[in-house]
Amino acid sequence: MKKQEKKPVKELENFGKKLVVDIEKGRNPTIEFSLRSLSNVVFDEKSKTLGLGDKTQQRTFFNVGHAKKFLQTLEVAKVSKTLLDVGKHASLRDVFYMAKRTLPSSNINIVDDQSESDNAIEDLELITDCSREQLNINANKMGSVAGNVVIEDSGDSINWAKLGSGGWSIPSNVENIEFKSVKAKYVIYMEKQAVWERLHEDKFWEKQNCIIVTSQGQTTRGIRRLLQVLNDEHDLPIYVLADFDPWGFYIYSVLKFGSINLAHMSGTMTLQNAKFLGVTADDATNYDLKKHFIKFKDVDLTRLKQISGYDWFKKNKAWQRQFKMMKDFGAKLEIQALSSKGITFISEKYLPEKIRKGEFLD
């Protein structure tokens, strides 16, 4: 067993032993851990990140309201322990299927929906103070990276500059990779895979001496960790390129300040130095993109209202200005709208110009 796996195993054992002691003493077995709900999420003005407050929750077995969740928590703990014991990893989906079965002579399933096992895993992170990855549970791989970087992963040396059109696909657990050489001035993280492919084809990272990273949609934990390492340990600024819409803003918000759901992981997840490069409301005017506006739906407006009300955006005048302009437009814009100026417009003009002028939101 590798050294780093000792802590999670120990934690899981302690967790189990404590409950066995409860049972032996005739006490209702009880798990206590930080309350993972909106009411216990606090925004720390100093560190500019979301974190969990002091409230805790109890989960007891002999309680009709708790029993099922208690069972689910123990089930995923068992799965994790088994994985650690044999040194294997499983995805969230795998864990769901490992837990999903019907109790004998009943119609009760331990889990009916993946959201239940996912939730139990997040609870387990809090209980054991170990990340999902440390518990040998991974999310699906969902991102690519390219740039002048050489790393070592599981004994293999990998050069991010020499991996063809697909780039290096980022694993969900990046804790064990080692950076051998990093030649770049900054990192651009983009929401859209298609935009990444455009920039990769244009060899943007080579011309501009940078690293380009993408995931599909919401940033996965592996990518967030990777970006954090590049930022913390290699001093590279991180720029975010997302659609001009509330959801694009939210991707930036999660990356920078942490998410409500993973408030307990904020310490290792947030990127306080991330900057929002575009697409901004000003881009729409400056680059004459208004004709590509997509009209707002009701949900867009609701989401925009929510985001503009977040503590960390409330006092930020630049952001409030963006929110107001978006609201006035009553419309959103996709990154790809830039392609209307020419297929290489984004890589040859838009991005270099914005980075040179330092046109970004903090």
Partner 1 sequence: MADRQAEAEQKEMPIAYELAKRQKEISVAEFFTKNRHLLGFDNKRKALLMAVKEAVDNSLDACEEARVLPEVSVEIIEIGEFKYKVIVEDNGPGIVKKQIPNIFAKLLYGSKFHTLKQARGQQGIGISAAVLYAQLTTGRHAKITSRVSKKEPAHYYELGIDTQQNKPTIAKEETVEWAKEHGTRVEIDLEADYIKGSQSVDEYLKQTAVINPHVTIIYQPPKGEQVIFARGADTLPSQPQEIKPHPYGIELGMLIDKLRWTESRTLQSFLTSEFSRVGPGTAKEICQHAAVLPNTKPSEVSRDMAEKLIQGIQKTKIIAPPTDCLSPIGGELLQKGLRKEIKAEFYCSTSRPPAVYRGNPFVIEAGIAYGGEIPKEEKANILRFANRVPLLYQEGACAMTNSIMETNWKAYGMQQSGDSIPFGPVVIVVHMSSVWVPFTSESKEAIAHYAEIIKEIKLALQECGRQLGSYVRKKTRISQQIERANMFEKYIPEVAESLSVLSSEKKEKILQALQKMLVKPEIKKEIIEMEDADDKLYRMDFKKENEKAREEAG
- The footprint of partner 1 (CB under 8 A) covers 12-13, 15-17, 19-20, 23-24, 26, 28-29, 37-38, 61-65, 67-68, 70-71, 74-75, 77-78, 81-82, 103-106, 108, 110, 115, 118-119, 217-218, 247, 250-251, 259-261
Spatial distance between the Cα atoms of 343 and 213, rounded to a whole number of angstroms: 20
Please, which residue, 18 or 180, has the CB nearer to partner 1? 18
Say if CB 245 and CB 251 are below 8 A apart.
no
Please, which residue, 34 or 119, has the CB nearer to partner 1? 119
Please, which residue, 261 or 336, has the CB nearer to partner 1? 261
Please, which residue, 71 or 331, has the CB nearer to partner 1? 71
The CB-of-254 to partner 1 minimum distance in angstroms stands at: 9
**Spatial strand order in the sheet of 178-183:** 156-159, 148-153, 178-183
The pair of three-digit structure tokens given for residue 192, joined into one six-digit string: 């859209």
Closest C-alpha to 259, from 102, 41, 81: 41
Spatial distance between the Cα atoms of 96 and 90, rounded to a whole number of angstroms: 10
The CB-of-20 to partner 1 minimum distance in angstroms stands at: 5
The pair of three-digit structure tokens given for residue 276, joined into one six-digit string: 């929002």
- Whole-number CA gyration radius for the chain: 23
Which position among 97, 189, 252, 287 bears the catalytic label? 97
Please, which residue, 16 or 352, has the CB nearer to partner 1? 16
Please, which residue, 245 or 283, has the CB nearer to partner 1? 245
Say if CB 95 and CB 76 are below 8 A apart.
yes
The CB-of-195 to partner 1 minimum distance in angstroms stands at: 17
The CB-of-354 to partner 1 minimum distance in angstroms stands at: 25
Please, which residue, 15 or 205, has the CB nearer to partner 1? 15
The CB-of-259 to partner 1 minimum distance in angstroms stands at: 6
**Contacts of 161-166 spanning 24+ positions with Cβ under 8 A:** 161/205, 161/206, 165/197, 165/200, 165/201
Q: Which residues contact 83 (CB under 8 A, 6 or more apart)?
A: 89, 90, 135, 136, 137
**Contacts of 337-340 spanning 24+ positions with Cβ under 8 A:** 337/279, 337/289, 337/292, 338/279, 338/287, 338/289, 339/198, 340/289, 340/292
Say whether the peptide bond before residue 20 is cis (omega within 30 degrees of 0): no
DSSP H or E segment with residue 195: helix 193-201
Q: What are phi and psi of 24, to 5 degrees?
A: -65, -35
The CB-of-266 to partner 1 minimum distance in angstroms stands at: 14
Residue 97 a catalytic site member: yes
The CB-of-217 to partner 1 minimum distance in angstroms stands at: 6
The pair of three-digit structure tokens given for residue 271, joined into one six-digit string: 């990127």
Q: Which residues are catalytic?
A: 97
